[in-house]
């Protein structure tokens, strides 16, 4: 190979000497009722028949989907599993047991792998939670949203505050390792309402809390008919108050929307934010997989019925595309800058397969603007950079105009909703 050929190669794509850590995401695409603010790939159940809710067929499809995907992750260990939705807690403990047994039989999970399941208090049954734990789920993420009936009604939730409290109590008793999702800046919410909600959440002392600012997402009922949300100043006051309460209670604000007691960060979501790899199986699941000379994104068919057919036809993936050399730096920074501590500078080359020098110019600009710490060993946002996260992330856009690939809009996350204005995809993700 000539020198010119080597240089051209170096300009065309990433090169990995070792692949990033790999996590597994499993999507469950049904909910009892569609919440008016939700843009996740979740479909309202229309009855409990096997036709409306094909639990067994779906678990079979997930297993078949995984088997087809195995060659692309051959020999790699799985660091965490996240069963998200939708509402995975619609599934019986037997179905989750069958699913996890099948995963374990086909994938090398690390010994202490974190296995999270997302639950909605409206589907809470103590025995079912105990069954999930017995099946191997070791972390529960509970979508409480609020402990106040007024706001739960305004959000169109299927559960009330009492049910949320009972579910939180049982979750903590059974799993110990629990996240509570709460939202703030809710219709008509005042600072004192949000503080009361945060106080209720803190009274359970969960190891992990996610606080998301309610955002009006396109293609939702709230977007078409916006409720009366607090103005920007009130929303900022709510955020200040809630963050101060969490800090006083000993939670570290380690990511835009995530707060954890020491040692309780969500390992699965931290892998997204550190630009690790993930295989996503199930309807509408996203994947990001690295190979020695490329990074591939995949999107599976979104409609549950279409997904089941597609798996039966042996092609569950609807879109697949290489992440280009131009897109990689932005996608990396989009995620890494959500982390309060940022990432070691060496992660850039390790996770994008490109030399750090490709972002030398925007790095210098971000530092000059006071958005990024001036530390050659770490890529870490300053407090100003965290506050104006969009501005910091945008500096890394290819040509400052192109966004991510059109087939992969920065959409419903698989894990953690970012706080409103800075939401990202699964890679661009949403926790719990
Ligand atoms: C995928 S949902 C799954 C949780 C479960 N289905 C539930 O709702 O109880 C994960 C979390 O995203 C958050 N979320 C969903 N839509 C949001 C929005 N428009 N703005 C802010 N947070 C949102 C909620 O806190 C929710 O618990
Ligand atoms: S917020 Fe949760 S329960 Fe509501 S529709 Fe979305 S995924 Fe389903």
Measured distance CA(149)–CA(32) in Å, rounded: 18
Q: For a pocket test of ligand 2, which of 27, 35, 144, 283 has the largest count of ligand atoms closer than 8 A to its C-beta?
A: 35
pLDDT of residue 310: 98
Q: For a pocket test of ligand 2, which of 27, 39, 85 has the largest count of ligand atoms closer than 8 A to its C-beta?
A: 85
The alpha carbon of 430 and the centre of ligand 1 are apart by a number of angstroms equal to: 8
Q: Coil, helix or strand for 343? A: strand
pLDDT-based confidence at residue 48 (cuts at 50, 70, 90): confident
pLDDT of residue 3: 38
CB 250 within 8 A of CB 261: yes
Measured distance CA(357)–CA(369) in Å, rounded: 19
pLDDT-based confidence at residue 50 (cuts at 50, 70, 90): confident
CB 123 within 8 A of CB 163: no
Which positions ≥6 away from 197 have C-beta within 8 Å?
A: 146, 147, 148, 151, 182, 184
- The pLDDT mean for the chain works out to 91
Tokens of 135: 């099946």
Measured distance CA(137)–CA(116) in Å, rounded: 6
pLDDT of residue 47: 79
pLDDT of residue 420: 36
Least confident of 75-89, 139-153, 347-361, 418-432: 418-432
Of the candidates 256, 119, 115, 250, which has an alpha carbon nearest to the alpha carbon of residue 180? Answer: 119
Measured distance CA(81)–CA(282) in Å, rounded: 13
Q: Which atom of ligand 2 is nearest to the CA of 143?
A: 2
pLDDT over threshold 90, residue 7: no
Of the candidates 285, 257, 251, which has an alpha carbon nearest to the alpha carbon of residue 416? Answer: 257
Of the candidates 372, 139, 339, which has an alpha carbon nearest to the alpha carbon of residue 252? Answer: 339
326: preceding bond cis by omega (within 30 degrees): no
Cβ–ligand 2 distance for 40 under 6 Å, the answer yes
pLDDT over threshold 70, residue 353: yes
Cβ–ligand 2 distance for 88 under 6 Å, the answer no
Q: How does DSSP assign 396-428, residue by residue?
A: TSGGGT--S-TTS-S-S-SSPPPPGGG---STT
Which positions ≥6 away from 160 have C-beta within 8 Å?
A: 149, 152
pLDDT tens per residue across span 264-306: 999 999 999 999 999 999 999 999 999 999 999 999 999 999 9
Q: Coil, helix or strand for 27? A: strand
The alpha carbon of 99 and the centre of ligand 2 are apart by a number of angstroms equal to: 22
pLDDT of residue 49: 79
Measured distance CA(421)–CA(238) in Å, rounded: 16
Tokens of 165: 């409290």
**DSSP summary character for residue 302:** -
State the angle between helix axes of 191-203 and 232-248 in degrees (0 to 180), rounded to the nearest 10: 30
Measured distance CA(167)–CA(128) in Å, rounded: 11
pLDDT of residue 125: 86
Q: Whose CA is nearest to atom 8 of ligand 1?
A: 143
Cβ–ligand 2 distance for 152 under 6 Å, the answer no
Question: Hey, CA dihedral for 177, 120, 130, 22, is it positive or negative?
Answer: negative
Q: For a pocket test of ligand 2, which of 28, 118, 143, 223 has the largest count of ligand atoms closer than 8 A to its C-beta?
A: 143
Of the candidates 377, 375, 382, which has an alpha carbon nearest to the alpha carbon of residue 337? Answer: 382
Cβ–ligand 2 distance for 38 under 6 Å, the answer yes
pTM for the structure as a whole: 0.92
Ligand closest to 417 (CA) is 1
Cα 86 to the center of its chain, rounded Å? 13
**DSSP summary character for residue 339:** B
Measured distance CA(220)–CA(289) in Å, rounded: 30
pLDDT tens per residue across span 385-406: 999 999 999 999 987 554 544 4
Tokens of 12: 């065309």
pLDDT tens per residue across span 130-183: 999 999 999 999 999 999 999 999 999 999 999 999 999 999 999 999 999 999
Quote the radius of gyration of the chain (alpha carbons, Å): 21
Ligand closest to 211 (CA) is 1
First to last CA, the chain: 48
CA distances from 270 to 99, 283, 326, 432 (A): 24, 23, 24, 10
Cβ–ligand 2 distance for 87 under 6 Å, the answer yes
Cβ–ligand 2 distance for 183 under 6 Å, the answer no
Q: How does DSSP assign 116-185, residue by residue?
A: EEEE-GGG--HHHHHHHHHHT--EEEEEEE-S-HHHHHHTT-SS-HHHHHHHHHHHHHHHS-EEEEEEES
Q: Whose CA is nearest to atom 27 of ligand 1?
A: 143
Q: For a pocket test of ligand 2, which of 38, 181, 304, 432 has the largest count of ligand atoms closer than 8 A to its C-beta?
A: 38
Q: Coil, helix or strand for 317? A: strand
Cα 179 to the center of its chain, rounded Å? 13
Cα 273 to the center of its chain, rounded Å? 9
Q: Which atom of ligand 1 is nearest to the CA of 121?
A: 9
Which runs of consecutive H residues, i.e. helices, occur in 258-397? 267-273, 304-312, 327-336, 346-352, 360-368, 383-387, 389-394
Q: Which atom of ligand 2 is nearest to the CA of 122?
A: 3
Ligand closest to 120 (CA) is 1
């Amino acid at each position: 190979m000539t020198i010119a050929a080597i240089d051209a190669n170096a300009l065309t794509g990433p090169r990995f000497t070792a692949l990033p850590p790999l996590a597994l995401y499993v999507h469950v695409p049904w909910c009892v009722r569609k919440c008016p603010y939700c843009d996740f790939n979740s479909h309202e159940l229309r009855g409990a028949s096997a036709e409306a809710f094909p639990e067994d067929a779906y678990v079979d499809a997930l297993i078949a989907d995984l088997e087809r995907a195995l060659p692309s992750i051959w020999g790699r260990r799985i660091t965490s599993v996240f069963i998200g939705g939708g509402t995975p807690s619609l599934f019986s403990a037997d179905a989750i047991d069958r699913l996890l047994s099948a995963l374990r039989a086909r994938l090398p999970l690390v010994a202490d792998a974190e296995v999270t399941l997302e639950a909605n208090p409206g589907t809470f049954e103590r025995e079912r939670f105990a069954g999930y734990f017995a099946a191997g789920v070791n972390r529960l993420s509970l979508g409480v949203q609020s402990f106040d009936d007024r706001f739960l009604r305004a959000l169109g939730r299927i559960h009330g505050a009492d049910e949320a409290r009972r579910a939180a109590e049982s979750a903590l008793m059974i799993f110990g390792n629990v996240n509570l999702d709460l939202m703030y800046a809710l219709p008509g919410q005042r600072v004192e309402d949000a503080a009361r909600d945060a106080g209720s959440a803190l009274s359970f002392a969960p190891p992990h809390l996610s606080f998301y600012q309610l955002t009006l997402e396109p293609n939702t009922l709230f977007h078409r008919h916006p409720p009366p949300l607090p103005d920007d100043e009130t929303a900022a006051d709510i955020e200040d108050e809630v963050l101060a309460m969490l800090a006083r209670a000993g939670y570290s604000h380690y990511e835009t929307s995530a707060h954890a007691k020491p040692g309780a960060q969500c390992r699965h979501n931290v892998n997204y934010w550190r630009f690790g790899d993930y295989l996503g199986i199930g309807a509408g699941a996203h994947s990001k997989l690295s190979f020695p000379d490329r990074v591939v994104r995949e999107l599976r068919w979104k409609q549950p019925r279409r997904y089941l057919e597609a798996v039966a036809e042996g092609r569950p993936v609807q879109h697949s595309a290489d992440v280009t050399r131009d897109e990689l730096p932005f996608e990396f920074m989009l995620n890494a800058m959500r982390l309060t501590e940022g990432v070691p500078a060496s992660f850039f080359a390790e996770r994008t397969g490109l030399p750090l020098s490709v972002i030398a110019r925007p790095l210098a600009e971000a530092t000059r603007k006071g958005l990024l710490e001036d530390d050659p060993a770490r890529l870490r946002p300053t407090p100003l950079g965290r506050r104006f996260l969009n501005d910091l992330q945008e500096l890394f856009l290819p040509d400052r105009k192109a966004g991510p690939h059109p087939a992969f809009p920065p959409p419903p996350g698989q894990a953690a909703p970012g706080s409103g204005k800075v939401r990202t995809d699964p890679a661009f993700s949403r926790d719990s």
